[in-house]
Amino acid sequence: MIPLVDLPRLHAPLRDDLIAAFVRVLDSGQFILGQPVEAFEDALARYTQAAFSVGTSSGTDALLMALMALQVRPGDEIITTPFTFFATACTIVRLGATPVFADIDPDTLLIDPDAVAAAITPRTVGIIPVHLFGCCADMTRIQRIADAAKLWVIEDAAQALGATHKGRMAGTMGTLGACSFFPAKLLGALGDAGAVFGNDASLQPALQALRTHGTSTKYYHKCIGGNFRMDALQAELLRIKLDALPREIEARQAVVTRYR
């Protein structure tokens, strides 16, 4: 049987580089955050053309951090799609808010902007469109709706890193973008990891504090955050795989062309 995702085969061309990265981290003694995470964050921001990125422990934690940074409160309503992984709605509920599901477009399987507009109530504070299968939701219309209603937008780009909509990268068109680096993703870690990124740099300090229990200075906590830190090993491995990502996308596009 041919596996749907053959990770050993995907990693084979990068095996020597990945092993060397493991040895570097092992010998450094720095296993959480630190220079490897900062280097990956810089590389991811450059790749996505974002102003910043903040590495996290998972895609779920990336979504949760983004919601916390935007000060979601109990009683808030957030519009999203029912056609997504559980984490999208779960993170909303964890903060006491309510996910309001807007139907998908039957042709694209992505959230329908008309359904989004119809779902807005006085309690709506934001929208979480989910990009799926390497395709972006109609961010032009969604952002127009959000701007008119004074709502923020968090893009769930877990399945669309590298995809574009009208020349802009997935995750950089709304207020914030969140991404998962689960091993089976297009850019997959060798474990769990994620990131939040965007172009409003004023949100970066809050996100960095939230990922380490709300810390501003060591042992001083200015807010309630969590343990959402990225491991140095995952960052080092992801940076190597990010360099190879354009080639991976090109190879997948060639397969699509062949099937068509």
Total number of domains in the chain: 1
Task: Tell me the per-residue pLDDT of 204-254, one tens digit each, with 9 for 90 and over.
Answer: 999 999 999 999 788 888 889 999 999 999 999 999 999 999 998 898 889
Any domain includes 190:
yes
Residue 196 φ then ψ, to 5°: -115, 135
Q: Find the Cα–Cα–Cα–Cα dihedral 64, 147, 162, 11, rounded to 10°.
A: 10
Any domain includes 219:
yes
Instruction: Determine what percent of the chain is predicted with pLDDT higher than 70.
Output: 100
The domain that holds 192 is classified in CATH as 3.40.640.10
- Residue ranges making up the domain that contains 91: 7-259
Grade residue 3 by pLDDT with cuts at 50, 70 and 90.
confident
CA–CA distance, 78 with 250 (Å, rounded to integer): 35
Any domain includes 65:
yes
Q: Are 238 and 189 contacting, i.e. CB atoms less than 8 angstroms apart?
A: yes
pLDDT for 142:
98
Tokens of 215: 């810390």
Any domain includes 2:
no
Task: Tell me the per-residue pLDDT of 50-72, one tens digit each, with 9 for 90 and over.
Answer: 999 999 999 999 999 999 999 99
Q: Which residues pair with 126 in a beta bridge?
A: 78, 152
Any domain includes 211:
yes
Any domain includes 43:
yes
Grade residue 90 by pLDDT with cuts at 50, 70 and 90.
very high
The mean of the pLDDT values for the chain is 94
Residue 195: Cβ-neighbour burial (10 angstroms; 0-12, 13-18, 19+): buried
Any domain includes 1:
no
